[in-house]
Amino acid sequence: MKTFVSVVALVVLSVVCAGSAAAAVSCDDPINSKCPITGKDVNPTKTVEYEKQLIGFCCDDCKGKFESDPKKYIGKVKEFKKKKSAEEISFDDPINKKCPITGKDVVSGKTSEYEKQLIGFCCADCVGKFEADPKKYIGKVKEFKKKSSKSADEEISFDDHINSKCPITGKDVNPTKTVEYEKQLIGFCCDDCKGKFESDPKKYIGKVKEFKKKKSAEEIAADDPINKKCPVTGKDIVSGKTSTYEGQLIGFCCQDCVGKFDSDPKKYIGKVKEFKKKKSA
């Protein structure tokens, strides 16, 4: 009888040990310490895997509730790390690795958006300093891409098409349907219109009102006044303040001087040393 009891005890003990070993192998540690349903301490044997993360619960009842509607409760698991899509990752990650205030490594969550770019910082204090005066610190963020302002004299960006309407159909342009023409990017509504333009650009370019035609050397020379100093005051001439006299463009410092010259050009033209007097036959 004792032998029989001993054998039974050994069998039971073996089963218990085997079960414990299996549990130890299959059950990793849950990421959370508190049950998201009740707030109680989790039972490490009451778990559910959700998005490759092990969530712990205090009992089977809570485990069942979670399994029936995980999205309802997962927000209460503060340790849970939500998977990010490729777009979310690109927008959520700061562009810089070092804090522009202290030079220390940036810390996750300590960010501020500036001109649609996410800047990272080492602490909330630095975030506050930056937001109070971003222009003071943004120069220290070498990864920051400054928006280029466009002017008539600056090179046009090749990333942006200059027109908003297709010169062929008049429809809105598709930003991916573009052709470069005389260093300016022309947009079209479709590949068909793009092809028509490429086959005969001169036929359609006149319909692109935003297009800036390049000036010939003669046109440029004709637009520039021949003189550097105003013949009325002797000051430097100002762009746009001009008057044509005998086919030559004379520059002035102000509109008042333009008026004085126009009223009596012969009085002042002798002061324009660059002026070439026409020879009489």
pLDDT per position as a tens digit, 36-46: 999 999 999 99
Structural domain includes residue 116: yes
CA–CA distance, 156 with 159 (Å, rounded to integer): 9
Q: Are 10 and 64 in a shared domain?
A: yes
Q: How confident is the model at residue 31 (pLDDT cuts 50, 70, 90)?
A: very high
135 lies in which domain range?
86-140
* Section 57-76 average pLDDT: 94
Structural domain includes residue 265: yes
Per-residue pLDDT tens for 86-141? 444 445 689 999 999 999 999 988 999 988 899 999 999 999 999 989 989 999 99
Q: How confident is the model at residue 153 (pLDDT cuts 50, 70, 90)?
A: very low
pLDDT at 12 over 70: no
Q: Are 9 and 68 in a shared domain?
A: yes
Structural domain includes residue 164: yes
> Which of 197, 214, 231 corresponds to the end of one domain?
214
CA nearest to 248, candidates 225, 229, 266: 225
Longest dimension (CA), the chain: 148
Mean pLDDT for the chain overall? 82
Q: pTM of the predicted model, to two decimals?
A: 0.27
Q: What per-residue confidence (pLDDT) applies to 159?
A: 59
Structural domain includes residue 276: no
pLDDT at 20 over 90: no
Structural domain includes residue 251: yes
Q: Are 204 and 246 in a shared domain?
A: no
The number of folded domains in the chain is 4
Q: Are 266 and 241 in a shared domain?
A: yes
Q: What per-residue confidence (pLDDT) applies to 52?
A: 87
Q: What per-residue confidence (pLDDT) applies to 58?
A: 96
Q: What per-residue confidence (pLDDT) applies to 93?
A: 86
* Section 64-89 average pLDDT: 81
Structural domain includes residue 106: yes
* Section 224-241 average pLDDT: 92
Structural domain includes residue 149: no
SS (HEC) of 101-139: CCCCECCCCCEEEECCEEEECCCHHHHHHHHHCHHHHHH
pLDDT at 146 over 90: no
SS3 16: helix
Pairing state of beta strands 242-245 and 248-251?
antiparallel
pLDDT at 155 over 70: no
Q: Are 193 and 233 in a shared domain?
A: no
